[in-house]
Amino acid sequence: MDVGSAKLIGAGLAAIGMGFAAIGVGNLFGQYLNGALRNPSASDGQFGRLIFGFAVTEALGIFALLIAFLLLFT
Amino acid sequence: MPDPIHQFDLHRILHINIGGWDLSFTNSALFMLLAVALTTLFFFVATQARALVPGRMQSVAEIAHDFVAGMVTESMGKGGMKFFPLVFTLFAFIFACNMLGMIPGAFTVTSHIAVTAALAALVFLTVIIVGFAKNGLGFLKLFAPSGIPLFIMPLIVLIEVISFLSRPLSHSIRLFANMLAGHIALKVFGGFVVMLLGAGAFSILAPLPLLMAIALTALEVLVAFVQAYVFTMLTCMYLNDALHPGH
């Protein structure tokens, strides 16, 4: 198998990793909504932490996408 | 298919060569200058009025100040405000660069690892220098959390050192990869619109990738703000480790 084809297959495999990050992000928002429905007055105070947690979790998914892009474009 | 990767190419606007070093003024430098100029101009004009009850523009400047000041004092306590100029500059610069990149045809400065790595290295070196200056060798207490049994201490210290050294890596790559991925996605959907328009019968479907591109643009504006916020938040947390080492 030549290098170009192997790179394309590798890029596809790397992109699968984003699915796990997606599960993490969904988990975060689900738990936040769960808590917000039980204790609505406390939800506004934690919103900043939610956004921060979302960004660092999403970053891991985007690291996987970065590997895919590196394989596709270099 | 139109190439989504060439939008990140650097073009020299002014060729400057000093002793063999290529110090040309590039499109990246132009947009960095534009970001700094716009931010400075905005805050200069907004704080001209100095009204006790602020008007619209001054309100925006005050909200921005309070937002970052809140972040700083929440992470570092009262003594953290001496880092406020650095933190606010980082936030304003990254936010301005990210938002300027959303203009169609503009260049996204933070989509280059060189730029984000320089910013992350700045934060990392500041943490180390301030940590040792303030705490002396007590800064190394950061790697030895309290309440750990002696026999696994060497393993814990090793893990803590590795995770400390990986901070500038994740700090820089998070911002870089978010900007890169966002702009590649936008370019790909833009390419789809062009491809469909040139496909004869299928050009009726061309508005669909355009709608996706519009939705992605809205998302990318949000991401521009969130990534600036997260970079700044993490900077505050890392600086807190320098000021108060030991978990």
CB contacts, 8 Å: A65 with chain B? 177, 181
DSSP assignment letter at B103: S
CB contacts, 8 Å: B186 with chain A? none
Instruction: Decide: B76 and B64 in contact? Cβ < 8 Å.
Output: no
The CATH code of the domain that includes A24 is 1.20.20.10
Residue A1 counted as domain residue: no
What is the total residue count of chain A?
Answer: 74
Choose, out of A28, A58, A70, A72, the residue to mutate when testing the contact with B (most B CBs < 10 Å): A58
Instruction: Decide: B5 and B23 in contact? Cβ < 8 Å.
Output: no
Instruction: Determine the Cα–Cα distance for residues B38 and B24; give it in Å rounded to an integer.
Output: 22
Please give the pLDDT value at position B52: 86
With an 8 Å Cβ cutoff, are A69 and B226 in contact? no
**CB nearest to A62's CB, from B177, B229, B233:** B177
Instruction: Determine the Cα–Cα distance for residues B87 and B77; give it in Å rounded to an integer.
Output: 14
Q: How many domains does chain A have?
A: 1
Residue A66 counted as domain residue: yes
Please give the pLDDT value at position B35: 97
CB contacts, 8 Å: B176 with chain A? 66
Instruction: Determine the Cα–Cα distance for residues B162 and B170; give it in Å rounded to an integer.
Output: 12
Residue A31 counted as domain residue: yes
Q: What is the pLDDT along chain B (247 residues), one digit of tens a residue?
A: 568 888 999 999 999 999 999 999 999 999 999 999 999 999 999 988 888 888 899 999 999 999 999 999 999 988 889 999 999 999 999 999 999 999 998 999 999 999 999 999 999 999 999 999 998 888 888 888 888 888 999 999 999 999 999 999 999 999 999 999 999 999 999 999 999 998 888 888 889 999 999 999 999 999 999 999 999 999 999 999 899 887 5
Instruction: Determine the Cα–Cα distance for residues B209 and B190; give it in Å rounded to an integer.
Output: 7
Please give the pLDDT value at position B239: 94
Amino acid at A56: V
- Report helix, strand and coil shares of chain A as percent, to nearest 5: 95, 0, 5
Please give the pLDDT value at position A60: 92
How far CA B59 is from CA of A35, A37, B36, B47, in Å, comes to 33, 33, 20, 9
pTM: 0.92
Q: Which residue of B has its CA nearest to A67?
A: B177
Share of chain A above pLDDT 70, in %: 100
Distance, in angstroms, between B178 CA and closest chain A CA?
A: 7
Please give the pLDDT value at position A68: 94
Please give the pLDDT value at position A16: 94
Instruction: Decide: A64 and A72 in contact? Cβ < 8 Å.
Output: no
- Report helix, strand and coil shares of chain B as percent, to nearest 5: 75, 5, 20
User: Containing domain of residue A39, as a range?
Assistant: 7-73
Strand segments (E) across B50-154 = none
